[in-house]
Amino acid sequence: MLSDRKLVVRRLGVVGYAEGLALQQALVAQRAADEIDDTLLLLQHPHVLTLGVKTGESRTHVLATPERLAELGVEIHETGRGGDVTYHGPGQIVGYPIINLKPDRCDVHQYVRDLEEVMIRVTADYGFQAGRIQGLTGAWVVADKIGAIGVRIQRWITSHGFAFNVTTDLDFFRLIVPCGISDRGVTSLKRLTGRDIPIPEVEDHLVHHFCSVFSRTL
């Protein structure tokens, strides 16, 4: 019987965006050289707006002026991931899987669907049914996005990943048009359940479902 591949989970707490980016780059290189196992980073970022590679478009999806952003303490970063503009901040669990999709998971769309599945299952753990909307990547509760996805793949090694709103201050999303989609909203576990759910508890759920969806063991 084949055993599941090993997954190392690193819970990093609050990490600056640039720092997280550098760490990911280092880990991608190490994973490519087979120096490390598949790794899932779980962390939170301070307030930051990140622009995907479609920057030409995504700039216009930042609605706030640079002055207003500075006043709120929100940084702006350009990144190498897919997708449009995204907000990250406290209360949102960011997951960066650095995993090798070879040999059996070489399908970028399937990878995105799998990340959605992880977030859908976690949402279900809290009693809410999330789903997919065709053409709009992410995990959606009715018409509100609870989990966003932006992925980069280099020789089938993944980086960037997903962002799942737990107790995120959703007002910060008003600074942007999330992912360039203007007619939909955002939500969080807190908004849905009316409770402040501890981040580590949700991380446990994410790890559990990540392992089961991707057939990995800790």
Catalytic residue ranges:
179
Smallest distance, Å, CB 119 to other proteins?
A: 13
Smallest distance, Å, CB 110 to other proteins?
A: 6
Residue count, binding to other proteins (CB under 8 A): 39
- Minimum CB distance to other proteins smaller for 91 or for 150: 150
Q: Is 72 near other proteins (CB under 8 A)?
A: no
Q: Is 195 near other proteins (CB under 8 A)?
A: no
Q: How far apart are the C-alpha atoms of 97 and 99, rounded to whole Å?
A: 6
Q: How far apart are the C-alpha atoms of 164 and 206, rounded to whole Å?
A: 9
- Give buried/exposed letters for 69-90 (b at 16+ CB in 10 A, else e): beeeebbbbebebbbbbbbbbe
Smallest distance, Å, CB 124 to other proteins?
A: 14
Q: Is 111 near other proteins (CB under 8 A)?
A: yes
Using the rule CB under 8 A, which residue among 20, 89, 150, 178 binds other proteins? 150
- Minimum CB distance to other proteins smaller for 152 or for 216: 152
Q: Which stretch binds other proteins (CB under 8 A): 5-13, 15-23, 75-83, 88-96?
A: 75-83
- Minimum CB distance to other proteins smaller for 11 or for 132: 132
**Which helix (DSSP H) or strand (DSSP E) does residue 120 occupy?**
helix 108-125
Beta strands in the chain (DSSP E): 5-14, 38-44, 48-51, 75-78, 86-88, 92-98, 131-133, 136-141, 144-154, 157-165, 185-186, 216-217
Q: Is 131 near other proteins (CB under 8 A)?
A: yes
Q: How far apart are the C-alpha atoms of 125 and 144, rounded to whole Å?
A: 18
Contact 161, 96 (CB under 8 A): yes
Locate 71 and state its tokens: 């006043």
Using the rule CB under 8 A, which residue among 12, 69, 76, 153 binds other proteins? 153
- Kindly list the residues in this chain that would bind other proteins in the complex (CB under 8 A): 52-54, 80-83, 106-112, 129, 131-138, 140, 142-143, 149-155, 179-184
